[in-house]
A and B are shown apart, each in its own frame.
Chain A
Amino acid sequence: GQSLEQPSEVTAVEGAIVQINCTYQTSGFYGLSWYQQHDGGAPTFLSYNGLDGLEETGRFSSFLSRSDSYGYLLLQELQMKDSASYFCAVIDTVGSSNTGKLIFGQGTTLQVKP
């Protein structure tokens, strides 16, 4: 089966740093992506990890450990506009080939307080 686990809710204050964890158990794995979704909005791509290690994009960073089936999204210098849902998503494979199919987690609702 396929399962991804992430916390349902996280609360932090403006200016702080928050980490959203994601663990996965999937039959195939090509890489891990992160998406942001504001209420009523479309999911927006944030980051992709195909290899172990840290990827940095501005205030957002994402980490992957394939051996631990674990990744996280790190948000720094939190702003009120970062209040949203954050989804990790595994890229499925057939054999070792990328199918292009994303399997999403349930999402983590981040609330940033003043």
Chain B
Amino acid sequence: EAGVVQSPRYKIIEKKQPVAFWCNPISGHNTLYWYLQNLGQGPELLIRYENEEAVDDSQLPKDRFSAERLKGVDSTLKIQPAELGDSAVYLCASSLDRPGTQYFGPGTRLLVL
């Protein structure tokens, strides 16, 4: 079984530029999550999807961040414009129906200069 796939793995951009991250969850997993992880910290939820519906986006900075999950499978997270403080690892995870069990992708390491 293929795991969660994310791309790109690394991204370096200048501040004020846009950036997008892509995630393909494990086949059949209806729940998809985007997390942000700063160095030395635990992951923090940005948005959670049940199929194509965003059921929790309370921690997504909506002035610059947006996300979509078309057809309830792949998802894209976008930042426009990026700020220096957005430098972090962006993790995508998916889950089925086992409590507390999420499967994470390798993440995208973003560096904003």
Q: Which residue numbers of A lie inside 8 Å of B, CB to CB?
A: 4, 30-33, 41-45, 48, 50, 87, 89, 91, 98-107
Q: How far is the CB of A103 from chain B (nearest CB, A)?
A: 8
Q: Which of A33, A50, A102 contacts B45 (CB 8 A)?
A: A102
Q: Which of chain B's residues 65-110 have a Cβ closer than 8 Å to chain A?
A: 91, 93, 95, 98-107
Sample 10 A-B pairs with CB under 8 A, ordered by A number.
Answer: A42-B104, A44-B104, A45-B103, A48-B100, A50-B100, A91-B99, A99-B56, A102-B45, A102-B100, A106-B42
Known: A33-B101, A42-B106, A45-B103. A100 touches B42 (CB 8 A): no
Residues of A within 8 A of B99 (CB): 30-31, 48, 50, 91, 98
Q: Are A48 and B43 in contact (CB under 8 A)?
A: no
Given A100-B31, A106-B40, A107-B42, is A91 in contact with B100 using a C-beta cutoff of 8 Å? yes
**Min CB–CB distance B24 → chain A (angstroms):** 14
Q: Do most interface residues of chain B lie in helix, strand or loop, or is the interface mixed?
A: loop
CB-based closest 7 A-B pairs: A104-B42, A33-B100, A48-B100, A42-B104, A43-B104, A87-B42, A42-B106
Contacting pair A42 B41 (CB below 8 A): no
Q: How many residues of B contact A (CB 8 A)?
A: 23
A43–B43 touching, CB < 8 Å: yes
Are B101 and A43 neighbours in the complex by a CB distance under 8 Å? no
Answer yes or no: B53 CB below 8 A from chain A CBs. Answer: no
The CA of A107 and the CA of B39, in the complex, are separated in Å by 11
Q: Does B14 contact A (CB under 8 A)?
A: no
Q: Determine if B40 and A41 form an interchain contact, defined as CB atoms under 8 angstroms apart.
A: no
Q: Report whether B42 and A89 are in contact in the complex, using a CB–CB cutoff of 8 Å.
A: yes
Residues in B neighbouring A103, C-beta threshold 8 A = 45
Interface centre among A30, A32, A101, A103 (most CB of B within 10 A): A101
